[in-house]
Homo-oligomer: A and B are copies of this chain.
Amino acid sequence: MSQYLFGVDIGGTTVKIGLFSENTELLDSWEIPTAKDNQGSRILPDIADSIQEKLRVLSINRESIIGVGVGVPGPVDEEGNVHGAVNLGWNTVKVAEDMNRLLRVPVKVGNDANLAALGEMVKGAGQGCRNLVAVTLGTGVGGGIIVNGNLLIGANGAAGEIGHIPVEENEIELCGCKNRGCLEQYSSATGVVRLVKKKLYKTDKASVLREMKDISAKGVFDAAKAGDEIAVEVLGMFGCYLGKALASIACVTNPELIVIGGGVAKAGEMLIDYIRPYFIKYAFSKCSNVKFALAKLGNDAGIYGAAGLFRKE
Contacts and interface: CB of A to CB of B under 8 A. Distances in A.
Interface string A172-195: 000001110010000000000000
B152 A253 contact: yes
Contact of A253 (B150, B179, B253): B253
Contacts of A169: 169
B284 A177 contact: yes
Contacts of A157: 254
A249 B250 CA distance: 10
A161 B251 CA distance: 5
A255 interface: yes
A165 B284 CA distance: 8
B254 A155 contact: yes
B252 A145 contact: yes
Contact of A179 (B145, B148, B252, B284): B284
A155 B289 CA distance: 10
A252 B252 contact: yes
Contact of A286 (B158, B162, B248, B287): B158
B147 A251 contact: no
A307 interface: no
Contacts of A155: 131, 254-256
Nearest to A129: B155
Given A75-B286, A248-B248, 11 more contacts: A152-B252, A152-B253, A153-B254, A155-B255, A158-B254, A161-B287, A164-B287, A179-B281, A179-B284, A245-B248, A248-B249
A12 interface: no
B156 A287 contact: yes
Nearest to A291: B155
